[in-house]
Amino acid sequence: MTSSSLGNNKVMQVGMVVENIDEAVQAWSRLLGVEPPSIAITDTFDISNAHYQDKPTPAQAKLAFFDLGQITLELIQPLGEPSTWNDQLTAQGSSLHHIAFEIKGMQEHIHELAKHGLGLVQQGEYQGGRYAYLDGQKKFGTVIELLEND
């Protein structure tokens, strides 16, 4: 069989969009019996250089992460639009959004994965890394996120 087009097959993260991240963080904290994590806001455009459907977007999001050892749960409350987060929250309400794989070499992977029918939906930068969301819903059943940490 051919080797993985991702470089590795370890799911790092499962992400979900939520209507109210404060309430969702409290609910998960109580369920898991852990302290509530802090809630961060994604960088503004000057740092994020966020692009949605190939165009710059001012959209941001509030984020919180629960480290469950094997994987991280990411809670996402969209701020502004357009973004893949806001699209899904508007269409479906609070719901699972993506599974994320860590990769090395973002542009090469985006190019390679296009051959699998995975089109680029949104990408951006954060302090120490970058992300891309690929539209795998029809063919793979989920948005696939690529995460590259420097």
Q: Which residues bind its own copies (CB under 8 A)?
A: 1-6, 9-11, 14, 16-19, 23-24, 27-35, 68-71, 73, 75, 91-99, 113, 116-118, 137-142
Q: Measured from the CB atom, is 15 or 124 closer to its own copies?
A: 15
- Least Å distance between CB 20 and its own copies? 9
Query: What length does the chain have?
Result: 150
**Least CB distance to its own copies at residue 129 (A):** 20
**Smallest separation (angstroms) from its own copies to the CB of 32:** 5
For 37, the 3-state DSSP assignment is: coil
Residue 46 to residues 7, 124, 127, Cα–Cα distance (Å): 30, 11, 12
Residue 52 or 101: the one with the smaller Cβ distance to its own copies is 101
Radius of gyration, CA atoms only, the chain: 15
Closest-CA residue to 132 (of 110, 104, 113): 110
Q: Nearest approach, Cβ of 122 to its own copies (angstroms)? A: 17
Number of H helices, E strands in the chain: 5, 10
Looking at the Cβ atoms of 111 and 139, the one nearer to its own copies is 139
How many other C-beta atoms lie within 10 A of the C-beta of residue 23? 12
Nearer CB in complex with its own copies: 47/68: 68
